[in-house]
Amino acid sequence: MKFFKKNILILSIILIFFSLCHGQNEKSAIPTIQTGKKLFYFSTADSTKVGVKDEDGKIIIPAKFHNYHFYNFQEAITDPTIELWHSAELKNVDPLSPAMPVSEVFDRNGNFLYYAQFYDNGPDYYEEGVRRFVENGKIGFVNKSGEKVLPAIWEFASSFSYGYATAYTGHWKKKYEKGGERWSIVPASETSENFIINKKGERVYPYPQPKDPKDFKKAENEYYPYPFKYNNFEKKLIESLEKLDVLNDLSLRNLGTTNQKREELLLQFEIIEYPFENYPYYILQGYRQQYKEDDMIFAISEDGKHYYHADFYIQKLIPIKDWIIEELIYSEEYFRLKQNRAFPFDVKKHLDIWNKK
């Protein structure tokens, strides 16, 4: 019991001190186009609790959540769901369970949807269009509309990356490092098992050699099928970004000494999110050797005519031309200061091209 209280206290302290940072840098949805009445966060008179009400003052979600998070009380809520931190469900958590509900998520009518999994000092990020949720001590996945796309059936699961995640079954528990903040998971029974799943939640078995150059390589002699499939229109969207060699130059700008050749490090783009209601964009992620390049995320309008750089940290779409020119201008100064980069490039040449577009 003392151990339980100690860990809940530690988690509460973490939430207080890190929620501002996480709130400002959270990988959330790009603002959607919302219809109906505007919704706003509001706080109690003593500013200790937070809820949500509409533009007429009608309470949509009562103010019962601790005001630890960075809530914007001035601007309307644009996300398709509403998330409020420090779930009451925390008090029922097994302190050694890796499934940790940290916030409650509602639809825009105030209906409860799910508990978000704790990660990186706050609620889980969306990765490749989905995030983890907790239900009855198990982990599942939801999309940005709040739909449970994979049921909560695993003891734990990693986030998705390159179309795959690692799922854990049997019994697993947290093992804390010295200091009591960081932890990893370890098997706790003879039935403990982990394996790879795809976006359908299906277990995928590896093969020893790749059958396609884009197959996912998890380890030596452990390959999984290339997980993405596209129609002709979607293939053209991907090709249109991969033809922009300036994106390769920008993504390699900060790289220091390496024995690898440039052609081995070129970006590979994949569609990780598709348009849905009030969200008319394809989201394309740039990968290098199957690892995500955090700053290489782009949004393309549903009709394929408008291209943007997708900045998930400030939840803003920047026209791709403006973003590239801004990055090139920064690169000029960067190369003046850093002259030992592995792949310097002709910034002026790129600027001349993009300023004429």
The last residue of one of the domains, among 197, 224, 248, is 197
Residue 97 lies in a domain: yes
Residue 78 lies in a domain: no
Residue 64 lies in a domain: no
Joined tokens for residue 290? 């199957």
Joined tokens for residue 66? 């601790």
271 and 141 share one domain: no
Helix or strand holding residue 23 (H, E): helix 2-25
147 and 294 share one domain: no
pLDDT of 279: 87
CA distance 289 to 113: 36
141 and 285 share one domain: no
pLDDT of 344: 94
Residue 287 lies in a domain: yes
> Cα–chain-centroid distance for residue 230?
22
The last residue of one of the domains, among 197, 224, 245, is 197
How far is CA 42 from each of CA 1, 38, 59, 337, rounded to the nearest angstrom? 35, 13, 9, 46
The last residue of one of the domains, among 197, 221, 252, is 197
Domains of the chain: total: 2
pLDDT of 154: 98
278 and 179 share one domain: no
> Cα–chain-centroid distance for residue 210?
28
190 and 91 share one domain: yes
Joined tokens for residue 8? 């809940």
- Single pTM value for the model: 0.86
Helix or strand holding residue 5 (H, E): helix 2-25
Q: Say if residue 295 is exposed, middle or buried (CB neighbours under 10 Å; 0-12, 13-18, 19+).
A: middle
Q: CA 103, 151, 93, 112 torsion: positive or negative?
A: positive
170 and 248 share one domain: no
Residue of 338, 161, 355 lying closest to 246 (CA atoms): 355
Residue 212 lies in a domain: no
Sequence-separated (6 or more) residues with CB below 8 Å from residue 216: 162, 163, 164, 223, 224, 225, 226, 227, 290
Count other Cβ atoms within 10 Å, centred on residue 224: 19
Give, rounded to a whole angstrom, the gap between the first and last alpha carbons of the chain: 65
CA distance 13 to 220: 41
283 and 176 share one domain: no
DSSP conformation class of 75: S
133 and 277 share one domain: no
* Rg of the chain in Å (alpha carbons): 22
182 and 284 share one domain: no
Residue of 185, 194, 70 lying closest to 119 (CA atoms): 185
Supply angle C-alpha 346, 352, 357, rounded to 5.
130
Which residue range is the domain that position 289 belongs to? 232-355
8 and 151 share one domain: yes
pLDDT of 179: 80
Could you report the average pLDDT of every consecutive run of 10 residues in the chain (357 residues)? Answer: 42 41 43 78 95 97 89 92 81 86 95 94 92 96 96 98 97 88 90 97 97 96 98 98 98 92 97 91 97 95 96 80 97 92 95 94
